[in-house]
């Protein structure tokens, strides 16, 4: 073989190797492109859609209605409705959050039009971002939530029901309140692993005013028991503690007015009472230790005990005391005599 033909043969071999490498490169590029195409397609399929809250209903139950509080204790409020997550309703029900906020409208952000009422305050902002786990709230403090109608993994719609206890002193929004122009506002925001969706609100309901007072437990169970007194004698002082157990909050020059308390009563009499004791023999004062002669005589028509008793703003009750004494006439009375004393809350 000549040197020339040896060179040609080497060139052919090199060319074949190069072709092979080029072919391999093309193949690799081709595979790479195919691979990128597959990845792009997969990413698109699992793109997250944030949950949307379709409806918000406020009431004592899942039926829309104004809220009337129970004096001296808590009352359950329900915020409920439907939601959609186009990936799956389980995005919220199983691992997401339901943020519920409820309070008087003007306490909300952006002059009452925004979604947030701020930090928790049982006067006007019942707020919590509730963690959900398998359709039930997990570890929540204020709101308890459940999700229903969220079935198969590809179900996109669910129903939620959230409840919270409202304190008896929560600020009202009805016509008797200084927040007449407000409504009871609720907003619901749901979030999944991708973040929070938009807020949906409701301002259809009112929080009503409850004018109420309560007396201490001993007085409720036993009355004002003066005990046994000699003719012409004066009883020991008996204390009655009055609590504002409502949420009355009328407008008193731009502040929340409460109630005033009035006292009235009847003569003491009864089947075992030989002579009626005039009601005026019972006297009261708001200061302990006042002499009977300096106290206010009980009358049949109401007399103001305290002119203003604000509603509570915290779990500490707002109270006032009355101190009672009974002086018996010097003659004519025997047996057991009983009457009635009435404490009335009057809206300011
Ligand atoms: Ca989602
Ligand atoms: Ca469903
Ligand atoms: Ca109103």
Closest CA to 117 of 175, 183, 209, 51: 183
37 C-alpha to ligand 3 centroid (Å): 59
157 C-alpha to ligand 2 centroid (Å): 4
Which listed ligand is nearest to 149 at the C-alpha?
2
Closest CA to 162 of 193, 141, 192: 141
Question: pLDDT exceeding 70 applies to what percent of the chain?
Answer: 87
Which listed ligand is nearest to 47 at the C-alpha?
1
Which listed ligand is nearest to 51 at the C-alpha?
1
d(CA 163, CA 142): 8
152 C-alpha to ligand 1 centroid (Å): 15
Taking the CB of residue 307, how many other CB atoms lie within 10 A of it? Answer: 10
Question: pLDDT exceeding 90 applies to what percent of the chain?
Answer: 85
Which listed ligand is nearest to 177 at the C-alpha?
3
159 C-alpha to ligand 3 centroid (Å): 28
Supply the pLDDT for residue 7. 52
Instruction: Give the H or E element holding residue 36.
Output: helix 3-45
Radius of gyration in angstroms for the set of CA atoms belonging to the chain, rounded to a whole number: 38
187 C-alpha to ligand 2 centroid (Å): 22
275 C-alpha to ligand 3 centroid (Å): 53
Supply the pLDDT for residue 75. 98
41 C-alpha to ligand 2 centroid (Å): 27
Q: Is the pLDDT of residue 36 over 70?
A: no
Average pLDDT over residues 193-202: 98
Q: 98 vs 29, 105, 167, 272, CA distance in Å?
A: 48, 20, 22, 64
**Average pLDDT over the chain, rounded to whole?**
91
Task: Provide the sign of the torsion angle of the four alpha carbons 177, 178, 180, 184, taken in this order.
Answer: negative
Measure the CA dihedral 191/194/195/201, to 10°. -40
Q: Is the pLDDT of residue 9 over 50?
A: yes
pTM comes to: 0.84
Which listed ligand is nearest to 105 at the C-alpha?
3
174 C-alpha to ligand 3 centroid (Å): 4
| Burial class of residue 36, CB neighbours in 10 A (0-12, 13-18, 19+) | exposed
Q: pLDDT, tens digit, for every residue of 69-120?
A: 999 999 999 999 999 999 999 999 999 999 999 999 999 999 999 999 999 9
Instruction: Give the H or E element holding residue 14.
Output: helix 3-45
């Amino acid at each position: 073989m000549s040197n020339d033909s040896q060179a040609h043969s080497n060139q052919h071999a090199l060319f074949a190797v190069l072709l092979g490498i080029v072919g391999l490169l093309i193949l690799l590029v081709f595979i790479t492109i195919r691979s990128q195409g597959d990845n792009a397609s997969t990413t698109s399929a699992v793109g997250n859609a944030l949950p949307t809250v379709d409806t918000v209903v406020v009431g004592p139950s899942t039926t829309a209605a104004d809220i009337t509080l129970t004096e001296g204790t808590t009352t359950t409020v329900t915020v409920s409705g439907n939601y959609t997550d186009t990936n799956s309703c389980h995005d919220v029900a199983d691992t997401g959050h339901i943020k519920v906020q409820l309070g008087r409208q003007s306490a909300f952000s952006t002059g009452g039009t925004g979604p947030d009422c701020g930090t928790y305050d049982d006067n006007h902002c019942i707020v919590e971002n509730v963690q959900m786990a398998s359709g039930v709230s997990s570890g929540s403090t204020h709101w308890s939530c459940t999700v229903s109608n969220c079935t198969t993994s590809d179900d996109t719609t669910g129903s939620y029901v959230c409840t919270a206890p409202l304190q008896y002193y929560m600020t009202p929004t009805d016509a008797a309140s200084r927040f007449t122009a407000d409504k009871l506002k609720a907003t619901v925001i749901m979030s999944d692993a991708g973040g929070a969706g938009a807020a949906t609100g409701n301002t259809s309901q009112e929080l009503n005013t409850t004018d109420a007072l309560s007396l201490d437990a001993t007085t409720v169970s036993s009355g004002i028991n003066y005990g046994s007194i000699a003719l012409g004698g004066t009883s020991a002082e008996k204390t009655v503690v009055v609590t504002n157990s409502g949420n009355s909050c009328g407008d008193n020059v731009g502040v929340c007015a409460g109630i005033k308390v009035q006292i009235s009563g009847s003569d003491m009499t009864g089947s075992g009472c030989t002579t009626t004791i005039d009601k005026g023999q019972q006297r009261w004062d708001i200061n302990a230790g006042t002499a009977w002669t300096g106290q206010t005589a009980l009358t049949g028509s109401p007399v103001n005990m305290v002119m203003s008793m604000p509603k509570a703003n915290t779990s500490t009750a707002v109270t006032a005391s009355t101190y009672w004494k009974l002086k018996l006439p010097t003659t004519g009375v025997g047996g057991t005599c009983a009457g009635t004393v009435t404490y009335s809350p009057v809206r300011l």
